[in-house]
Amino acid sequence: MFTSRRLILATVAAALLSGCASPNPYDNQGQAQSGQGVSRTAKYGGLGALAGAVAGAAIDHNNRGKGALIGAVVAGAASAGYGYYADRQEAQLRASMANTGVEVQRQGDQIKLIMPGNITFATDSSAIAPSFYSPLNNLATSFKQFNENIIEIVGFTDSTGSRQHNMDLSQARAQAVATYLTSQGVDTTRLAVRGMGPDQPIASNADANGRAQNRRVEVNLKPIPGQQYEAPAQQ
């Protein structure tokens, strides 16, 4: 029993330390760091190893030490794989979206792109604005290179006008983005489209500046459940 416990602890410690020690080519760019200076790759790998060790020990009742070791290695590798994949994609998106007006955010295991109304669509229109084509082309290029995400496209409006009109308009705008990305070679089976209308505002609708912020399109990149991830080679 004592030996099994030491094996579990050693396995988890090794996974955490190896994750922290592994060089991350994007550490100096700021987007792949956690609050304490540990890359998401290391964080996901270490936490995955811990969860895997617990699960492995629970599954193999006859040899908990062996089960923990197997669980830690498998789960840790899978988690670190997505963490590194997302780090790479985030860095590529930040570079390609620079100076376009598109904001790139990282929220745990998801990447969010916020596209403000001043570059996306004219007022009360779902026709793609000329200023929006360049960011969309960059997105299409990234999505074809990093082709193992779920891509959720969500349209939003301000609160001006009827709710039903805004729901329809936001859906049409999200669909216009999806249609254009598909025309540029992005696999349509990866795309999900939603219109949220005036729901989930990010600013006050009481003034023009706030309404402009609320008129936006968001693209959320999410991992595919159960997918094994390996980041594509650098171009």
pLDDT in tens, 121-159: 988 999 999 999 999 999 999 999 999 899 999 999 999
Nearby residues of 23 by Cβ (< 8 Å), 6 or more positions away: none
Whole-structure pTM over 0.85, yes or no? Answer: no
Going by their DSSP bridges, the two strands 216-223 and 191-195 should be labelled as unpaired
Nearby residues of 36 by Cβ (< 8 Å), 6 or more positions away: none
Q: What's the chain's average pLDDT?
A: 77
Specify the fold of 101-223: 60s Ribosomal Protein L30; Chain: A; (3.30.1330)
Element (H, E) at 223: strand 216-223
At residue 41, the pLDDT reads 52
Give the tokens for residue 190: 């990866």
Mean pLDDT across 214-228: 91
At residue 74, the pLDDT reads 42
Going by their DSSP bridges, the two strands 149-155 and 191-195 should be labelled as parallel
CATH 3.30.1330.60 range(s) for the chain read 101-223
Nearest-angstrom CA–CA distance, 180 and 178:
5
